[in-house]
Structure 1
Amino acid sequence: MEEGYSPVRKWEDLDNDILVKILQSFDLFELSAGLAHVCNMWRLARCDQLPWKKLDLSVLQSNFIRISRKPYVYVDSPSQEKLTRVLNIFLNLSHGNIQILILHYNLYVNDNQLTFTAERCPRLKRLVMPAWEKLEKPAIRRAFRKWKDLESLTMPSLEKPAYVIKKIARSCKKIAELKIMGPCDILFASTLVSFLPNLKVLSVRCTELSKSALVILLEGLKQLKVLNISHCIITEDLPPPAPTKILTELDESILEKASRLDKFLTCMSDSCIMCQRTRNDEGFMRWYKYEDLWKVDEVKSLAI
């Protein structure tokens, strides 16, 4: 070997397992763009199943306005088209290997996008999808039929939850964790007890929660191990003409029912900023005011 000569190794010579580890350090938008053009080995490694187990689109939001009629939200065409392009790229690259899918609180998926996603994510185990306003019931039913391995779901509150929860429960028998982003009234609590009685973990933080609904959850979900009601406004209905009472602390009857749980997470402090925000928003959090706080949860497995 001549003096001063340094052998040069090519990227194609790098072991594929090592290359996959390197690619895992990039975010998915980088993986879908310029990295593919480095060489054939990078393109092959990019399609390896390891980098694609989790698809986090929590940085992507819809451009929308609220409207007075159903579906109560209007998403402009460029925003919808952008989401369709993103889903096409990522879901085709993933080759069906995605197990965790995270969507932003203000990312509104339509029926066609949900169906496309469900067909290309048959192994999904965790879904974070807090915005369902643009979805019709048949599309939700078709999607969840594909997700038989689903174990964890983050969803919004629903006015008429029975149909949707029943269809989810029928198809997704492995669901053990549920997070509801919105009020949990007596109807919603009763629906969970009826159709998802085997829930192990439930979070209904930062919302209005009636004492009656809380009792239904504690008494009806016999397998429940963890319940998070942190920063909730706990209300109690009194006989008319008395107004609804807001509790400042949980009474002994509630604490007794919750004593069987492994974790009962609560916070009702006047000095707590999140409790103050829930009260200021009257029990229906306006998450757009608080940046990424919608991702937070006291239950580690439900946080993002």
Structure 2
Amino acid sequence: MEERKWEELQTDCLVNILKRVGIESLLLDVPLVCKTWYNATHNPLCWSNLIFPDLDPRRRLVGRIFYEQQLNGVRTAESHANAFFATFSWKFGGFSPSAFIRFVVKRSGGSATSLVVPPQCTEEDLKYIANECPALKFLELPSEILIQHQHEVSKLIRKWKKLEILSLHSLPDMGNIFSQINRHCKRFIGLSIEHGVFIGSDEVSAIVNFLPNIKYLSIRGAIISRENLLRILKGCKELVLLDATDCVGFVKDVEILKHAAHICCFKCEDSRQWDELPLQIRDEGTKD
């Protein structure tokens, strides 16, 4: 039986595969396989999942880009590399995260449905992303973005009317952000909060008041008091999944299980009390 060649793979099948390989491979590996694959990387559907890594110069991706640029003069046959590096803005011989972000976002042609924002994203980059990625369903924001650009984020939420799931690495200004989601994102169903984040009374009020109908909530590894967990259980009646595994601030008891009875999948294994935390953090938590 004759073996089929990879370059003969149908375009729709190829695109379905390539959209899963990640930004680094789409830029630096896939185009080198053959002309067919190189052409496929220009299909916007390959860029529907924009999972940006950290663009710090010490990280793997930026280091590899510099390495590939150095080889570019040697591997002259790879003409696509010339166009690739010429597209970037190289300032004083350095890497420009903004140019890289915009280059990748432009490749998506408005088809991006998932986006993990890199910490180096500027306010202007956020505005560019909001305008160029109107179809987002999943959005992940690192702490750096939420702390430095929290007000801009809350203003841009209205651009993502199809947003369904939001993943946050910290919780500043949640009242404004969640109120915008409540107003503009009618398909919103899920919230994920990063491991180790403190969830106090203000944050819980924002969740209960503005996201009462969410179906999926992950607070895995968060710091949250028993009282605030109960407020979520009582205030979010549409939950079908609540992952409170490995949290600090409560242990499972009869009352918690009673109020979680309506949730199809409730997880709180390995959660523990405040007394296992340093005194300073415990004191902050009891202020709620």
Same fold (TM over 0.5): yes
**CA distance 1:21–1:123, change in 2 (3 Å):** closer
Does 2:148 align with 1:148? no
Taking the TM superposition and a 5 Å limit, the aligned residue runs for 1:1-304 are 15-20=10-15, 23-24=18-19, 26-33=21-28, 35-36=30-31, 41-57=36-52, 59-62=53-56, 82-103=96-117, 107-131=119-143, 132-137=146-151, 139-181=152-194, 182-234=197-249, 247=250, 249-268=251-270, 279=277
Q: Is the 8 A contact 2:243 2:268 kept in 1?
A: yes
Q: Aligned pair count?
A: 240
The one-letter code of the counterpart of 2:54 is L
SS in 1 for 2:163: coil
SS in 2 for 1:133: helix
**CA distance 1:94–1:162, change in 2 (3 Å):** same
Shift of 1:214: 0.8
**CA distance 1:211–1:49, change in 2 (3 Å):** same
RMSD between superposed Cα atoms in Å: 3.4
For 1:73, the equivalent position in structure 2 comes to: none
CA distance in 2, matches of 1:41, 1:167: 43
CA distance in 1, matches of 2:277, 2:187: 35
**CA distance 1:22–1:123, change in 2 (3 Å):** closer
> Per residue, is there more helix in 1 or in 2?
2
Per-residue CA deviation, residues 273-299 of structure 1 (Å, 9 max, x unaligned), is xx9xx9479879xxxxxxxxxxxxxxx
CA distance in 1, matches of 2:222, 2:51: 25
SS in 2 for 1:233: coil
For 1:288, the equivalent position in structure 2 comes to: none
CA distance in 2, matches of 1:232, 1:14: 47
For 2:82, the equivalent position in structure 1 comes to: none
Shift of 1:36: 4.7
Q: Is the 8 A contact 1:125 1:152 kept in 2?
A: yes
Per-residue CA deviation, residues 161-188 of structure 1 (Å, 9 max, x unaligned), is 2122112221212110001221111111
CA distance in 2, matches of 1:23, 1:281: 49
What are the ranges of 5 or more consecutive residues in structure 1 without an aligned counterpart? Answer: 1-8, 65-76, 235-246, 285-304
CA distance in 1, matches of 2:173, 2:47: 35
Per-residue CA deviation, residues 3-57 of structure 1 (Å, 9 max, x unaligned), is xxxxxx996x774335435645753223234655777654542222332221111
TM-score (normalised: structure 2) = 0.71
The one-letter code of the counterpart of 1:130 is P
**CA distance 1:95–1:261, change in 2 (3 Å):** same
SS in 2 for 1:115: helix
For 1:300, the equivalent position in structure 2 comes to: none
CA distance in 1, matches of 2:235, 2:17: 48
> Per residue, is there more strand in 1 or in 2?
1
What are the ranges of 5 or more consecutive residues in structure 2 without an aligned counterpart? Answer: 59-90, 283-288
The one-letter code of the counterpart of 1:112 is E
TM-score (normalised: structure 1) = 0.68
